[in-house]
A and B are shown apart, each in its own frame.
Chain A
Amino acid sequence: MAETYAQERTDSVAGSNSTGGQSDSFIVETADLTKMYGAFTAVDRLNLRVREGEIFGVLGPNGAGKTTSILMLLGLTEPTSGAVRVCGHNSTREPLKVKRLVGYLPENVGFYGDLTARQNLRYTAHLNGLTDRESDARIDEVLEVVGLSDVADKKAGQFSRGMRQRLGIADVLVKSPRLVVLDEPTLGIDPEGVNQLLELIVKMSREQNMTVMLSSHQLQQVQQICDRICIFFKGRIVAEGRIEELGTRALAGAQLTTEVQVARMADEFVGSLGRLEGVAGVERSGDLLLVHSDQDIREGISGLTAKLGAPLLHLRMRGYGLEEIYLKYFKEG
C-alpha cells in the first residue's frame, strides 16, 4: 500500500511536469477558470491539476479566491469563463454527477442542533440516495473512523467545535467519495484537536484511497500532511508543486539567511562571523544574529562557535520552510 502510494507520487510529479495529454489521471482539472463579481476578478484564469490519491494543499490569504474556486469545482457557483472537470465530469454542466463523487466540508460547517449526530448523517445519506440499511452500516463505519461512535446519539447542538469538525468529516465520508474537498478544516480548533484532525485526514486518504484537497491559511499544518501545494494570491496561483521543489525554486539565486544564537553574544564572535567564507553581512535582530550568505555556511558557523568556546543555542537556515516560500510569494504578489 505504502509502496504503491510512493510510486504514484513519483508519477504524479512526472505528470505535473509534462504538458497535458494525460487528462484521465487527473481527478481535478481546470482550464482558464475565471470568476468575476462585477468588475472584481475573484479567480483569474486558474489552471489547476490534482492527481488521484494525493493530498493537495490550497494555500493563500483570506479573500484570495480559494473558496470561490472550490465552489466552482463542485458546481455550486458558475464560472464566468473557462471550464472545470472533476472525475471526468464538467462541474458546471453535470453538477449532480460531480457532487455524487466529491465530498465537501465547507468552512464553518453546521449541523441540525435538534438532531443527533446519527440522524444528521442519515439525512446526508438519504440525500445521496442510500437506503436505510446501506446508510446505517455506513454511518456506523464512518463514526468509528472519526472516533465519534460513543456520542452518536447525542444531539449535534451539544458538540464542541472540534467534534463538529470531525462529524463534518464523517458527513463527507458517508457517500464514499473519490475526492474530498476540505475548506479550512482546522479553523478555530485547539492545537491537539488540529493534530487529531490532520492525522484523521491522512488516515482517510491512505486507508480509503481518497484524493484530498485542503484549503487553509495555516501553513505549518498544511506542510505536515500535503504532498503538493499551490499558493493563491489575488485570484491567481503564484506557485504550485511539491513543497521542497517550491523551496528550491523560490529561493534559487536568492541570498540565504542563517539565524544564529549563542550564549554570550561577544563582538569578537560577530567579527569572526563576518570573516567566514561566503558571508555577505551580519545583522542583529533581537537575540538572533542574521547571517547573509550565498551558500550554506552552517558548518562554518558551528566550527567557529566550537573554536571560540561560545555555546551555540540556535542555528537555522531560513529558506526551506513553507513560511518563507509563502512570504516570498506574497511580497512578489
Chain B
Amino acid sequence: MQGLMAVFQKEFADHFSSKRFVILFTLICLAGLSATYVAAQSIRGELLDKPDQQFVFLQLFTASSGVLPPFISFIGFLGPLVGIALGFDAINSEKSNGTLSRVLSQPIFRDSVINGKFLAGLATISLMLLSIVLIVAGLGLRTIGVAPSVDEAARILVFLVVCIVYVAFWMALSILFSVLFRQTATSALAGIAAWIFFVFFISMISGILANTLVPLGQDPDANTAIAHEQVDQMVSRISPSTLFQEATVTILTPGVRTLGPVLVRDVVGMIPNPLSVSQSLLVIWPQIVGLIALTSICFAISYAKFLREEIRA
C-alpha cells in the first residue's frame, strides 16, 4: 500500500507539472470553449423562435453551428491524444533512464508501480475532464441563461464518466505499448497509429466491408438494407471511438431511442417523448461495458507482461 501511494503521488504530481499535459489541457479547453460558445450562440437564436424547448442545456455539448464541431466530437478526437500523452512512456522511459530497476529494488511490490501509474493517470484524466466540463457548463450558463434540470445534471454526470472511461482506455492502450516496446518513440507512434485508425479510418473500412459482404445493388429490399447497415455498424463498433460517440450522443440527446436501423412501421404511432435517464442508460449500457472491458483488457495485458518481465539495468 505504502509503495502504491508513493508511486501514485509522484506520478500525479509529475502529470500536472509536465509540459505536455499543460499543452493538451490548453488545447482541449480552447477547443471545448470555442465549440460551446458557438453552440450557445445558435441555441440563443433558436430559443427566441421556440421558447418552450426541453433539454436546452444539453445542447451546449451536442449542438453545432456548422462552423465548429460540437463539444462531444472534440472530446472524441482529442481525448485519445490526452490518454496517449499520459501513458505512452510510462514504463519504457523508466527502463531506458535506469530509474525502474532502482525503484523496483525498493521494498514495494512490483505491481505497485504499474497500478500507481494507472491510478495517477486516471485521477489526472478525471480531474481534467471534470474541470473542462464545469468550465463549459459555466460558460453555457452565462451565455444562454438556462439552468440545467436535475435530469440534465444526471445526464452530464454520466457523460463525464463515459468520457473518463474513454480517455482511460487510450491511456491503458498506450501503457500497454510502453510495456511492449522498448523505445518511447515506437510506443508513441503505435498509440497515434491506433488513434488515427480507430477515429478516422474505421468508418471507411466498415463501409467498404459492408459493401463487399452485403452489396446493396440498384434497388435493395428492406432485409438487404438492414443487413448492410448492421454489418457497417458492427464493424465500426470495434472502434472505441464509435462506442464513445454512440454512448455520448444517446445520453446527451434524450430523444434518441435506439442505435440500430429503425423501420417506418416501428415509428408509426410512436409518441416522440424523451427517454428517462435510466432508459437512456439502458440503451448505451453495452457501449459503456464495452469501453470498460477494453480498458481492463489493455491494463490486464500490460500488468501481466510487466510482472513477468525481468528488469535489468
Which A residues contact B (CB, under 8 angstroms)?
67, 71, 74, 76-77, 96-97, 99-100, 102-114, 123-124, 126-129, 168, 171, 175, 183
Contacts and interface: CB of A to CB of B under 8 A. Distances in A.
14 contacts: A67-B312, A106-B101, A109-B101, A110-B102, A112-B14, A114-B14, A114-B18, A126-B2, A126-B9, A126-B10, A128-B106, A129-B2, A171-B102, A175-B107
A110 B97 contact: yes
Contacts of B220: none
B22 to A, nearest CB: 13
Contact of B104 (A76, A107, A109, A111): A76
A128 B105 contact: no
Contact of B313 (A99, A102, A183): A183
B52 interface: no
Contacts of B98: 106, 108-110
A110 B6 CA distance: 18
A71 B107 contact: no
B3 A127 contact: yes
B6 A126 contact: yes
Interface in B226-270: none
A189 B129 CA distance: 47
A87 B304 CA distance: 30
A77 B110 CA distance: 11
The 8 closest A-B pairs by CB, nearest first: A110-B98, A106-B313, A126-B6, A104-B105, A110-B97, A127-B106, A100-B107, A106-B101
Nearest to A164: B98
A168 B101 CA distance: 12
B108 interface: yes
A127 B313 contact: no
Contact of B106 (A77, A175, A183): A175
Contacts of A104: 101-102, 105
Given A114-B14, A126-B6, A129-B2, A99 B106 contact: yes
Contacts of B224: none
A316 to B, nearest CB: 37
Given A100-B107, A106-B313, A128-B107, A113 B6 contact: no
Given A108-B313, A113-B97, A127-B6, A99 B102 contact: no
Contact of A112 (B99, B104, B105, B108): B99
B109 interface: yes
Contacts of B97: 110-113
A183 B101 CA distance: 12
Nearest to A120: B99
Nearest to B3: A127
Contacts of B106: 99, 124, 127-128, 175
A127 B107 contact: yes
B284 to A, nearest CB: 40
Nearest to B105: A104
Given A111-B99, A126-B9, A127-B6, A99 B105 contact: yes
A107 B313 contact: yes
Nearest to B309: A77
A215 B138 CA distance: 62
Given A76-B101, A104-B101, A126-B9, 11 more contacts: A96-B109, A99-B106, A99-B107, A106-B105, A110-B99, A112-B97, A126-B2, A126-B6, A127-B103, A175-B106, A175-B107
A124 B6 CA distance: 9
Nearest to B10: A123
A108 to B, nearest CB: 5
Contacts of B109: 96
Contact of A71 (B7, B108, B312): B312
Contacts of A67: 312-313
B310 interface: yes
B262 to A, nearest CB: 54
A168 B9 CA distance: 22
Contacts of B5: 126
B185 interface: no
Interface in B70-108: 97-99, 101-108
B105 A76 contact: yes
Contacts of A128: 106-107
Nearest to B94: A110
A104 B108 CA distance: 14
B27 interface: no
Nearest to A106: B313
A28 to B, nearest CB: 15
Interface in B9-45: 9-10, 14, 17-18
A96 B102 contact: no
A124 B108 CA distance: 11
